[in-house]
Amino acid sequence: MNRIAAAVILATILATILATVLPACQQVPTTISPARTTVMPGRLQHIVLVDLEDDADIPRMRAESDRLLPTIPTVKGYVCGTHVETGRANVAHDYDLAIVVQFDSVEDYRAFLEHPVHQQLVREWRSKWRRSYIVDFAP
């Protein structure tokens, strides 16, 4: 992976986190819609950037992700949102949804991957993705 690609990945991760957390921390009104769930620190962060074939599917995939993913017992934090245009050329914008799921351990993450609710969501939506990019990291 070249340095530019690595920088784009890092910028995407940071933009996703900042776009979600910063408005709540500053308590300043913005055009960003409020978080649907509370972001809680977990020791493992799972970030999925999804570009859907049909933009009309964005609200439905977001709603289903919001409804289903936080119900999985090993999930310690969850947030899902859409790209925010900040005017920065080096911020990734070629995705429709960013999903951040937090876990206490790799074992909890593996249990999430195998959980029937997660499997159901993936079965329903993967064929509708143009592409996805997944990042797993620990702070």
14-40: pLDDT as tens digits? 444 444 444 443 343 344 455 555 555
Residue 39 · residue 3 · CB < 8 Å: no
Q: Which residue has the higher pLDDT, 31 or 61?
A: 61
CATH architecture of the domain with residue range 3-137: 2-Layer Sandwich (3.30)
Q: What is the pLDDT of residue 57?
A: 97
What pTM, to 2 d.p., does this model score?
0.70
Q: For residue 28, what pLDDT is reported?
A: 36
Q: Quick one: 100 exposed, middle or buried, by C-beta within 10 A (0-12, 13-18, 19+)?
A: buried
The model's confidence at residue 62, banded by pLDDT at 50, 70 and 90, is very high
Rounded mean pLDDT of 117-121? 97
**What are the domain boundaries of the chain?**
3-137
